[in-house]
Chain A
């Protein structure tokens, strides 16, 4: 029996639910020797800003129990550099590319959406409203009104599906998720790194130069998973579930909680081949359970789980 791993969301057919999360996979090119892109559903490209960014000074990354804290700081070539240097190369990646953008004011959001709208290689746009690593900048996704403003602005400027990347560490993610959906978002990414830090006890100073960063990896999985579950309980909008997916079991938990697509971040850093290993695990699980289609298990945790017979 073959297993159908494909899934159609945002009007786009994904061959399977595995999405490389924005950030750890860069623009994908360096991963190519290790990972067969034709075997994964999509890649969310590294977030692009209007101006090129050097990112934060090092150290930018530190271990934590069960996770890692990073403060890369959106290092990227800027929208112009992206269009001239990166976009012409994107056809080398045989998978769906999701463009990720972050503006620092509404005008910047506007410009980024307009530019992304023109790029034919990019059929979907993710609005990164929740990067935890920008010095002195508030995250848009912490505020209902700001979230709405950005999504509305983007909605008016493009017909491409818009996915909104939310912050998991907010008081009420459902309120913000609803606001994003009402403003015209086609989907949500839940979530992003959760603000964290470590201090070097020998020096008495924060380990990261930026002092704090975004905690990702297994440590945050229960937290983001709960937010995917709660959000999908009340909102009928496709969700990309992200946060500590290290193996196929983690991935399935997100699907069962209601995520249609499954974002892999930290695991790619540990093992660049992990996305295909995770996919094989999902396939084997579905076969064992005699489930023909991956999409049948999405949100099963809301529907009483597997029926016991």
Chain B
């Protein structure tokens, strides 16, 4: 078992079992030593490498069953770089689930178009798995076509690849919008800003603790400062002060 730099750490051990990578995106399957408690879509885990960097980082759950945690990750920094280059069998550490399930904040009488951009598709996939009755359709936006090979035939139907069609995921969404159907979106800030007014947006933020104590993931809203980890990650698009982010 890998020794942790931090000594007295008591996080759940997560062994990297499988990975499938294309460019800067990849699926990573971890087997956890213990269950995390009933995770629901929109919730995230804090994942930590056994050594540097010292902080755990938040990752939305793509799928979870029987101690098997699937994360869909974009390579952006040191920790994600480390996950991409890690050999199978590497031990990481997780805790969670943190954050609120989407179902605790959305109108449950509606069905939803799930609009994802890049690694933002993660919580949306988990949502469609757990709540098919609330899912109208899925739109997964990516810039480059190489991403196709990470998805099976059925999943590929939901991909919106910009370099292939010249359309963004928001362009496609605009053709589908109706009053009866809601929108839940997760992805880069420019994408979220382009969404229609009534959309729910799932925010990503730099987090220190993931549980509401450190105040790192603050977001300004019409109701004052809120935290993505504790009050979110889901907000209504119109309640966010976008210029503050």
A contact residues vs B (CB 8 Å cutoff): 23-26, 28, 30-31, 33-34, 46, 54-55, 57-63, 65-68, 70, 72, 75, 217-218, 246-250, 266-274, 277-278, 280-281
Residues of B within 8 A of A62 (CB): 206
Residues of B within 8 A of A267 (CB): 6
Closest to B212 in A: A30
Contact A270 to B225, CB < 8 A, known contacts A65-B52, A66-B52:
no
Residues of B within 8 A of A33 (CB): 211
Asked whether B8 is an interface residue with its Cβ less than 8 Å from the other chain, the reply is yes
CB < 8 Å A-B pair total: 129
Closest to B11 in A: A271
Most buried by A among B77, B214, B219: B214
Docked pose: A4 CA to B9 CA in angstroms: 23
B contact residues vs A (CB 8 Å cutoff): 5-11, 48, 52-56, 77-79, 95, 205-209, 211-220, 224-225, 230, 244-245
* CB-based contact B218/A55 at 8 Å: yes
* CB-based contact B216/A272 at 8 Å: no
Residues of A within 8 A of B205 (CB): 58
Contact A55 to B225, CB < 8 A, known contacts A60-B215, A270-B9, A277-B10:
yes
Residues of A within 8 A of B230 (CB): 30
Contact A217 to B54, CB < 8 A, known contacts A24-B213, A54-B220, A75-B218:
yes
Residues of B within 8 A of A28 (CB): 213
Docked pose: A275 CA to B7 CA in angstroms: 11
Docked pose: A249 CA to B7 CA in angstroms: 8
Contact A246 to B10, CB < 8 A, known contacts A24-B209, A26-B214, A60-B206:
no
Set B5, B7, B244: member contacting A248, Cβ < 8 A: B7
Docked pose: A171 CA to B158 CA in angstroms: 60
Please give the distance in Å from B243's CB to the nearest CB on chain A. Answer: 9
* CB-based contact B211/A68 at 8 Å: no
Contact A63 to B53, CB < 8 A, known contacts A26-B214, A55-B225, A72-B214:
yes
* CB-based contact A269/B8 at 8 Å: no
Docked pose: A9 CA to B137 CA in angstroms: 62
Docked pose: A9 CA to B209 CA in angstroms: 30
Set A24, A61, A70, A247: member contacting B8, Cβ < 8 A: A247
Docked pose: A60 CA to B228 CA in angstroms: 13
Set B48, B79, B219: member contacting A58, Cβ < 8 A: B219
30 pairs from A and B in contact (CB 8 Å cutoff): A23-B214, A26-B212, A31-B211, A31-B213, A34-B211, A46-B215, A54-B220, A54-B224, A55-B215, A58-B218, A58-B245, A68-B54, A70-B214, A75-B218, A246-B5, A247-B7, A248-B7, A269-B208, A269-B209, A271-B6, A271-B9, A272-B95, A272-B211, A272-B213, A274-B6, A274-B9, A274-B10, A277-B9, A278-B7, A278-B8
Residues of B within 8 A of A68 (CB): 54-55, 208
* CB-based contact A70/B208 at 8 Å: yes
Please give the distance in Å from A6's CB to the nearest CB on chain B. Answer: 20
Please give the distance in Å from B9's CB to the nearest CB on chain A. Answer: 5
10 additional contacts (CB under 8 A) given A72-B215, A272-B213: A26-B212, A26-B213, A30-B209, A54-B220, A65-B52, A68-B208, A70-B214, A70-B216, A271-B8, A278-B8
* CB-based contact A66/B54 at 8 Å: yes
Please give the distance in Å from A96's CB to the nearest CB on chain B. Answer: 18
Closest to B7 in A: A247
Please give the distance in Å from A35's CB to the nearest CB on chain B. Answer: 10
Docked pose: A239 CA to B136 CA in angstroms: 60
* CB-based contact A274/B8 at 8 Å: yes
Contact A75 to B225, CB < 8 A, known contacts A246-B54, A249-B7, A273-B10:
yes
Closest to A61 in B: B216
Please give the distance in Å from A22's CB to the nearest CB on chain B. Answer: 11
Please give the distance in Å from A34's CB to the nearest CB on chain B. Answer: 7
Docked pose: A271 CA to B54 CA in angstroms: 10
Closest to A273 in B: B10
Set B53, B54, B213, B218: member contacting A30, Cβ < 8 A: B213
Residues of A within 8 A of B8 (CB): 247-248, 271, 274, 277-278, 280-281
Set B48, B77, B212: member contacting A270, Cβ < 8 A: B48
Docked pose: A57 CA to B10 CA in angstroms: 32
Docked pose: A75 CA to B212 CA in angstroms: 12
Contact A281 to B7, CB < 8 A, known contacts A63-B55, A68-B55, A268-B209:
yes
* CB-based contact B10/A72 at 8 Å: no
